[in-house]
């Protein structure tokens, strides 16, 4: 009886370990392996697991191709942690390109990553997303198609990060570096040297954040952010509330 009980316990323990192992998948993506990053995101979006994607420490991933909607990487779906390890994702093409689109039901954490030179905005979030130690720089919108570098209709938190040297052009109705229509939390995050250029002085614009939802800011720093008017005048601007 003791032997049978012991075997039963070992069997149950093995099942528990297998269940735990099956609940998460980890991916190691080599330096410059954009195809590997795409495959990891595709798998993570379909396997119903809590997935962790590790980029190469200090690596660079240059994006050259997009789908028909201008998206360079697969849509984030499910539960995904993207561990940047100090890597950089950068556009290396002339075509309009957006980097990250996060689906409504997704739960996403992205850390230790630089995002640069997106040309249709960098991030469109509809899910629950946490950005930590991120830099979003040197990016543009596509006038008439996108009106922000970061668009949020979900729950987005940005911590210990830099959003700087970005430009939003051709704002006809409204636009900003970050347009928030959901819930936005900013902690220890700096917005610097961003520029928003509007087609009319009547257009609603903000040099940093245009807030139509709920927003909280702790230790935020806003410096050198401007709105450009059609007459060439530039005005200092940071956060505009538009409820």
Query: What's residue 23's pLDDT?
Result: 59
How remote is the C-alpha of 92 from its chain's centroid? 18
Distance (Å, whole) CA 48 – CA 68 = 26
CA dihedral 103, 104, 106, 108 (to 10 degrees): 80
Query: What's residue 21's pLDDT?
Result: 40
Q: What is the pLDDT of residues 79-133, one digit of tens each?
A: 999 999 999 999 999 989 999 999 999 999 999 999 999 999 999 999 999 999 9
Query: What's residue 48's pLDDT?
Result: 87
Q: What is the pLDDT of residues 155-197, one digit of tens each?
A: 999 999 999 999 999 999 999 999 999 999 999 999 999 999 9
Given a cut of 50, whether residue 4 has pLDDT beyond it is: no
Q: How many residues are given for the chain?
A: 243
**Type and span of the H or E element at 156:** strand 155-159
Distance (Å, whole) CA 185 – CA 183 = 7
Q: How many CB atoms lie within 10 A of CB 130?
A: 17
**Type and span of the H or E element at 19:** helix 2-22
**Type and span of the H or E element at 202:** none
Order of strands, edge to edge, in the sheet holding 204-211? 100-102, 123-125, 150-152, 174-180, 204-211, 239-241
Average pLDDT over residues 216-238: 95
Q: E-assigned strands of 181-238?
A: 183-187, 190-192, 195-198, 204-211, 214-218, 221-223, 226-228, 234-236
Of the pLDDT bands very low, low, confident and very high (cuts 50, 70, 90), residue 136 is very high
Q: What is the pLDDT of residues 9-55, one digit of tens each?
A: 333 344 333 333 445 799 999 999 999 999 999 999 999 899 999 99
Return the DSSP state at 74: P
Beta-bridge partner residues of 60: 88
Average pLDDT over residues 52-73: 95
Q: Identify whether the C-beta of residue 142 lies closer than 8 Å to the C-beta of residue 120.
A: yes
């Amino acid at each position: 009886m003791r032997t049978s009980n012991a075997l039963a316990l070992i069997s149950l323990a093995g099942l528990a370990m297998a269940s735990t192992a099956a609940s998460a998948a980890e991916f190691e993506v080599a330096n410059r392996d954009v195809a590997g990053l795409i495959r990891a995101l595709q798998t993570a979006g379909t396997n119903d697991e809590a997935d962790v994607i590790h980029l190469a420490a200090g690596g660079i991933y240059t994006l050259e191709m997009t789908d028909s909607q201008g998206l360079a990487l697969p849509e984030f779906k499910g539960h995904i942690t993207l561990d940047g390890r100090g890597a950089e994702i950068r556009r290396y093409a002339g075509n309009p390109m957006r980097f990250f689109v996060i689906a409504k039901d997704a739960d996403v954490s992205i850390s230790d990553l630089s995002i640069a030179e997106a040309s249709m905005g960098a991030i469109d979030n509809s899910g629950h997303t946490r950005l930590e130690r991120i830099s979003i720089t040197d990016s543009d919108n596509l006038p008439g198609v996108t009106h922000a570098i970061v668009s949020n209709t979900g729950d987005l938190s940005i911590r210990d990060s830099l959003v700087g040297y970005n430009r939003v052009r051709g704002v006809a109705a409204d636009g900003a570096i970050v347009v928030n229509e959901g819930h936005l939390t900013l902690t220890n995050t700096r917005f610097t040297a961003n520029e928003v250029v509007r087609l009319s002085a009547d257009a609603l614009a903000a040099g940093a954040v245009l807030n139509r939802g709920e927003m909280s800011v702790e230790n935020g720093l806003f410096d050198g952010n401007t709105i450009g008017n059609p007459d060439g005048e530039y005005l200092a601007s940071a956060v505009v509330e538009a409820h």
